[in-house]
């Protein structure tokens, strides 16, 4: 088993907090406390000279999968680079550790930040399709077309035909996720337009985001006093949850009533409100007892020895489950996590009409060595997932981070899901529209 992955924190929530308090929120997240040393090992291994591909990282078995799981979860918390110990104070944290890196009222995001937004916001299926389209644009996957005269850009530099075909492919992909705006205040502004309509459009969106996030809007309105208020809110969290020196200690936990006396909050209800505000900053959602159990306690239990986890969860409101009621694997078949490996992340699509299935094709460059390596990877990851008891949801979210070399079967699965046609010798000419 592995601890549940955290909810991805929306960029707009992180943007509303001052830089120091972004770190204070992230380092108190129990997944960060559990995952930071494992994620550091993963990132050092993945970037080392002896690790040329994700295969070399994942073939290590359960330990490597645990490190990948930690790396995945900490990415969801918007942490970039090597995560430091949660005991690290803000003044010692590397600048730009938590995205977005810019603290200006407005700025032009670099390409890296835009790509990061896509990786965080797009569903897994769209990410897989985008990976194929990008590979086609970069020449890793052939277009299947005859050689043509190069298209030149304004500087006379040839544009790879693959980019033109890939751009057309992207336009034809049927996907609501590709057609809706990202849920962040990101605009394309026409610099030659009159000022009034531009300001009006931006202000309407700005107001909508502020209305949707009243807690953060209140912080922005009260900049002068927000530091003291945030300090009191996180102090209420620390007292209630026993947080000190970068770790949680159940022996240090006290009630909200005692916290109110200690922090001179004025009343138990004031301390409770402060605690709930800190919960919102840490987890990105409003406090309820069920959400605390799901997002905090069930992850924090992994900071304890295995023998103590059930007792901790019981003390924090989780009802015991009898063995007879526990979920069981289906007999004679794969469990959900193993099935994810062989089904390419559960991307099997609906049945497709013949005209959609006969559109332009990708022609993958097959490498027998990589194909054999992929087969070995699938075998070992399937065994590792089974050994860890990973559930289907965790396995599916891990698939978004694998982004490994794509086998022919996986390629077919992604292309079929989006109606992009088939590959290989069975590819015919595109059908004419009726």
> Is there a single domain that holds both residue 41 and residue 89?
yes
> Is there a single domain that holds both residue 105 and residue 116?
no
3-class DSSP state for residue 319?
A: coil
Q: Where are the beta strands (DSSP E) in 295-424?
A: 363-364
Q: Tell me the average pLDDT across 123-140.
A: 82
Q: Which residues, in sequence order, are bridge partners of residue 151?
A: 159
pLDDT confidence band for 334 (50 / 70 / 90)? very low
Among 163, 183, 210, the domain-final residue is 210
d(CA 11, CA 24): 16
Among 165, 180, 210, the domain-final residue is 210
pLDDT confidence band for 412 (50 / 70 / 90)? low
119 inside domain: yes
268 inside domain: no
The two beta strands, 141-142 and 243-244, are unpaired
> Is there a single domain that holds both residue 70 and residue 131?
no
Q: How much is the pLDDT for 376?
A: 65
pLDDT confidence band for 172 (50 / 70 / 90)? confident
Pick from 174-183, 336-345, 386-395 the range whose average pLDDT is largest. 174-183
User: What is the domain count for the chain?
Assistant: 3
Among 54, 88, 109, the domain-final residue is 109
240 inside domain: no
> Is there a single domain that holds both residue 74 and residue 141?
no
> Is there a single domain that holds both residue 93 and residue 138?
no
Q: Tell me the average pLDDT across 270-299.
A: 91
Question: Considering the chain, what is the average pLDDT of its residues?
Answer: 70
> Is there a single domain that holds both residue 105 and residue 117?
no
> Is there a single domain that holds both residue 2 and residue 100?
yes
Pairs from 132-139 (Cβ < 8 Å, separation ≥ 24)? 132/362, 132/406, 132/411, 132/414, 132/415, 132/420, 133/166, 133/169, 133/170, 133/173, 134/166, 136/162, 136/165, 136/166, 136/169, 136/362, 137/162, 137/163, 137/166, 137/167, 138/162
Q: Tell me the average pLDDT across 108-113.
A: 73
Say whether pLDDT at 283 is over 80. Answer: yes
Token pair, residue 89, equals: 């104070």
> Is there a single domain that holds both residue 7 and residue 91?
yes
Q: Which domain holds residue 133?
A: 111-210
Q: What percent of the chain has pLDDT over 70?
A: 54
Say whether pLDDT at 432 is over 60. Answer: no
Of 29 and 51, the structure prediction assigns the larger pLDDT to 29
> Is there a single domain that holds both residue 118 and residue 196?
yes
Ranking 44-48, 226-230, 266-270, 338-342 by mean pLDDT, the lowest is 338-342
> Is there a single domain that holds both residue 98 and residue 130?
no
Q: Could you tell me the pTM of the whole model? A: 0.56
255 inside domain: no
171 inside domain: yes
d(CA 177, CA 18): 30
Q: How much is the pLDDT for 254?
A: 82
Q: How much is the pLDDT for 208?
A: 74
3-class DSSP state for residue 421?
A: coil
pLDDT confidence band for 319 (50 / 70 / 90)? confident
d(CA 295, CA 407): 35
7 inside domain: yes
- Asked if residue 263 lies in contact with residue 10, where contact means CB atoms within 8 angstroms, the answer is no
> Is there a single domain that holds both residue 20 and residue 100?
yes
316 inside domain: no
Say whether pLDDT at 168 is over 90. Answer: no
pLDDT confidence band for 316 (50 / 70 / 90)? very high
377 inside domain: yes
> Is there a single domain that holds both residue 29 and residue 105?
yes
């Amino acid at each position: 088993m592995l601890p549940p992955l955290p909810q991805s924190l929306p960029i707009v929530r992180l943007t509303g907090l001052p830089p120091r308090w972004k770190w204070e929120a992230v380092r108190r997240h129990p997944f960060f406390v559990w995952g930071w040393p494992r994620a550091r090992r993963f990132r050092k291994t993945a970037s080392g000279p002896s690790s040329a591909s994700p295969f070399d990282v994942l073939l290590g078995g359960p330990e490597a999968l645990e490190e990948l799981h930690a790396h995945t979860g900490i990415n969801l918390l918007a942490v970039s680079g090597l995560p430091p110990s949660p005991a690290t104070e803000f003044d010692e944290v590397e600048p730009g550790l938590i995205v977005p890196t810019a603290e200006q009222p407005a700025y032009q995001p670099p390409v890296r930040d835009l790509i990061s937004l896509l990786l965080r916001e797009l569903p897994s299926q769209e990410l897989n399709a985008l990976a194929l389209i990008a590979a086609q644009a970069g020449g890793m996957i052939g277009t299947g077309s005859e050689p043509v005269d190069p298209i030149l850009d304004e500087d006379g530099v040839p544009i790879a035909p693959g980019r033109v075909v890939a751009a057309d492919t992207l336009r034809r992909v049927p996907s609501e996720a590709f057609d809706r705006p990202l849920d962040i205040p990101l605009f394309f502004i026409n610099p030659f337009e009159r000022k009034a309509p531009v300001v009006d459009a931006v202000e309407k969106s700005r107001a909508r985001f502020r209305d949707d996030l009243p807690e953060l809007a209140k912080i922005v309105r009260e900049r002068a006093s927000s530091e003291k208020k945030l300090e009191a809110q996180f102090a209420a969290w620390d007292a209630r949850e026993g947080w000190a020196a970068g770790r949680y200690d159940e022996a240090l936990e006290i009630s909200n009533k005692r916290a109110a006396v200690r922090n001179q909050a004025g009343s138990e209800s004031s301390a409770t409100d402060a605690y709930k505000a800190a919960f919102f900053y840490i987890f990105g959602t409003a406090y309820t007892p069920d959400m605390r159990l799901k997002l905090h306690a069930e992850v924090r239990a992994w900071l304890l020895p295995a023998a103590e986890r059930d007792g901790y969860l019981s003390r924090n409101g989780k009802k015991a489950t009898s063995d007879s009621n526990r979920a069981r694997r289906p007999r004679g078949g794969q469990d959900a996590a193993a099935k994810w490996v062989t089904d390419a992340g559960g991307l099997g699509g609906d049945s497709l009409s013949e005209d959609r299935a006969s559109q332009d094709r990708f022609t993958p460059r097959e490498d027998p060595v990589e194909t054999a390596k992929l087969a070995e990877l699938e075998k070992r990851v399937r065994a590792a997932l089974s050994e860890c008891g990973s559930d289907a949801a965790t396995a599916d979210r891990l698939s978004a981070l694998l982004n490994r070399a794509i086998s022919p079967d996986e390629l077919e699965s992604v292309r079929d899901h989006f109606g992009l046609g088939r590959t290989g010798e069975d590819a015919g000419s595109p059908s004419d529209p009726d």
